[in-house]
Amino acid sequence: MTKAAVVFADGCEEVEGLSIIDVLRRLGVKADMIGLTSKTINGDHNIKLTCDKIVDNSLLDYDLVAFPGGKTGAENLRDNKKLQDLMVKRHKENKWDAAMCAAPIALARYGLLADTNYTCYPGFDEQIKKDAPTGHFKETITVTDKNKKILTSRGPATAWAFAYAIAEVLGIDTKALKKGMLYDYLANNIQDSL
């Protein structure tokens, strides 16, 4: 069975992490909410989240691990040595990792964005360049670097696109769910509402 994990830290952007969990669970993926240091997380907008477990060595067993953004949450992910060690091991094992919004700063600090195509929340690319000067920033909604097995996205409004991109790199057909959740309708009609 395909398994994915989303790592939540205090100060995370709640909608980004929960969008991934929601979409993956609807698609039948075992998607776990993992707290960085506690099962109870206080998001950036004071939304309390209850995770399934806390970061441990089982992070190595997931097909994909994703990080939501939020400046404070991303900094907490970036500065956690235990998480860094596990993510470096995952990368060496050629497993998929994903981060959005501010969270690519964590992947950059871990050394995972070297020579990698990525995107992030506007302005965080300057911080990322300090830790990953050979990375290649792109201004697109999501960026999938298949060679490096890294997937990134921009921010809260791109959370569903990110969640579907995650499902697709895991080999899951998202067409029916996109239609059922009206994602295709939104994508096709967004210009009309502007």
Residue 30: per-residue pLDDT: 98
Q: Which tens digit of pLDDT belongs to each residue from 116-153?
A: 999 999 999 999 999 999 999 999 999 999 999 999 99
Residue 110: per-residue pLDDT: 98
Strands 40-42 and 30-35: unpaired
**Can you tell me the distance from the alpha carbon of 79 to that of 100, in angstroms, rounded to the nearest whole number?**
17
Query: Helix or strand or coil: residue 82?
Result: helix
User: What φ, ψ does residue 96 adopt, rounded to 5°?
Assistant: -75, 140
Instruction: Kindly tell me if the per-residue pLDDT of 32 is higher than 60.
Output: yes
pLDDT category at 193 given cuts 50, 70, 90 is: low
- Look at 71-75, 129-133, 172-176, 188-192 and tell me which has the smallest mean pLDDT: 188-192
Partners of residue 96 on adjacent β-strands: 64
**Can you tell me the distance from the alpha carbon of 126 to that of 133, in angstroms, rounded to the nearest whole number?**
10
Q: CB–CB of 5/31 below 8 Å? A: yes
Query: Which residue, among 54, 52, 50, 49, has the nearest Cα to 38 in the 3D structure?
Result: 54
**Can you tell me the distance from the alpha carbon of 36 to that of 192, in angstroms, rounded to the nearest whole number?**
41
**Can you tell me the distance from the alpha carbon of 167 to that of 110, in angstroms, rounded to the nearest whole number?**
24
Domain ranges of the chain: 3-193
* 178 CB-near residues (< 8 Å, 6+ apart): 164, 184
Residue 89: per-residue pLDDT: 98
- Look at 15-19, 78-82, 190-194 and tell me which has the smallest mean pLDDT: 190-194
Helix (H) or strand (E) holding 171: none
Instruction: Kindly tell me if the per-residue pLDDT of 194 is higher than 80.
Output: no
Residue 188: per-residue pLDDT: 83
pLDDT cut 70: percent of the chain above it: 98
Q: Tokens standing for 173? A: 């057909």
Mean pLDDT of 71-83: 98
Tell me the average pLDDT of the chain.
96
Q: CB–CB of 23/163 below 8 Å? A: yes
- Look at 94-103, 128-137, 180-189 and tell me which has the smallest mean pLDDT: 180-189
The top-level CATH class assigned to 3-193 is alpha beta
**Can you tell me the distance from the alpha carbon of 144 to that of 184, in angstroms, rounded to the nearest whole number?**
20
pLDDT category at 189 given cuts 50, 70, 90 is: confident
Instruction: Kindly tell me if the per-residue pLDDT of 191 is higher than 90.
Output: no
b (16+ CB within 10 A) / e for 98-134:
bbbbbbbbbbbbbebbeebbbbbbeebbebbeebbee
Residue 159: per-residue pLDDT: 98
